[in-house]
Amino acid sequence: MTQKKQNLWNVPNVLTMIRMLLIPVYWALFVHGYTYKALAVFLAASLTDLADGYIARKYDLITDFGKLMDPLADKLMVLSVMLSLAIRGLAPKTALIILLCKEALMVLGGAVLLEKGVVVYARVIGKAAQTLVVTGLILCFFHEWILEHLGFPLHTIVIWCAVGLTLCALLAYGRSAIRLYREAGKKEAENP
């Protein structure tokens, strides 16, 4: 029992919890008009996401809590930022709806797979899609400058490219999930 408590309070998990706590901080700043301070909170949260994964792998501090909460914290922060920007008309609402539906499918699929004891790990394409989404969201904060100096909505283009890549990642995840689910079913049938 003590061992599990020690594992829970490791550096990567604490960084994940900090990222969760930064979501209401982001909203408070954004709603009160402190747009660039809110952006700084989002950037800090994104850095904690990079740091916790690196530290967890490098120092073998991967826990079940981290496997569950790290992607959840990341998705909640990104979707929160996208929602806030969509409300202000700075990010496409349709892109937000697509990403919300994709995340709902991932949660539903994850629950089904969890019953079989199957874990599908993140793929490079998923990480690339997430990085592109974050990049697009950061660019949304500078939409006026982008439109004035570039003359076209680069931020919107990046977000739509990220949505496309995210859907490709969902397909790759789905193929892996189906294969692993079938393999788990076969093993279950062989060893009742």
pLDDT digits (tens, 9 = 90+) for 35-60: 999 999 999 999 988 888 888 888 88
CA dihedral angle for residue 132, residue 134, residue 135, residue 140, rounded to 10 degrees: 130
Higher-confidence residue of 57 and 64: namely: 57
Contacts of 23 (CB under 8 A, 6+ apart): 45, 76, 77, 80
The residue to which tokens 């008309």 are assigned: 89
Instruction: List Cα–Cα distances, 35 to 23, 72, 141, 184, in angstroms.
Output: 14, 24, 8, 48
- pLDDT at residue 6 is higher than 50: no
Structure pTM? 0.86
> 58-67, 68-77, 92-101: which range is least confident on average?
58-67
- d(Cα 12, Cα 85) in Å, to the nearest integer? 28
pLDDT tens figures, 76-131: 999 999 999 999 999 999 999 999 999 888 878 877 777 777 766 667 888 899 89
The token pair at 45 is 């949260």
Q: Where are the domains of the chain?
A: 1-66, 89-192
Both tokens assigned to 17:
């919890």
Assigned token pair, 13:
């998990």
**Average confidence (pLDDT) over 179-188:** 79
Q: Length of the chain in residues, anyone?
A: 192
